[in-house]
Homo-oligomer: A and B are copies of this chain.
């Protein structure tokens, strides 16, 4: 699950040392990158880890949250494909997620009478109750994790992260190396 497996991050001096052997290594970029991954790993562990106590994995949580949000505007019915797209998992994975969620009585899956290819997934009262029970603590953990940062610092962090994110988004598909790579 974590993105960064290393237990101890290399110290800056070590990076400088390694940069002699690998001229392409940008020590400060490397350091920032590793700390970014490490922070996200730790944050996810602290915030999302406890969900496992309720037998809620990351994927399950995502589905339930999407269903909760759509619950309000009940106009739009949503099926596995739409859910998969919104949640960022494959349709096959979504089938499996819904299977177990249905088995646990948290969602229902009914065939759509209009388009007979489609299924309609809905949150059950039990699913709704579960969310109401776990969300407050979930949000508390999030707030707790970020509590060392002032509002200004959060804004700054957001600005810097957005720069990284935009840069990452400009990389086509992750498979082809960034085109600008040779240029820089």
Binding site for B on A (CB under 8 A): 1-8, 22-26, 28-33, 35-50, 53, 58-59, 62, 65-66, 85-89, 135-137, 139-149, 151, 153-158, 160-169, 171, 174-175, 177-178, 180-181, 184
Find A146's partner among B85, B140, B153, B164 (CB 8 Å cutoff).
B164
Number of copies: 2
Contacts of A158 in B (CB 8 A): 31-32, 35
Tell me whether A174 and B3 are in contact in the complex, defined as CB-CB below 8 angstroms, given that A165-B38, A166-B148 are known contacts.
no
Provide the bound-state CA to CA distance between A41 and B166, in Å: 13
Tell me whether A36 and B43 are in contact in the complex, defined as CB-CB below 8 angstroms, given that A53-B175, A87-B5, A141-B177 are known contacts.
yes
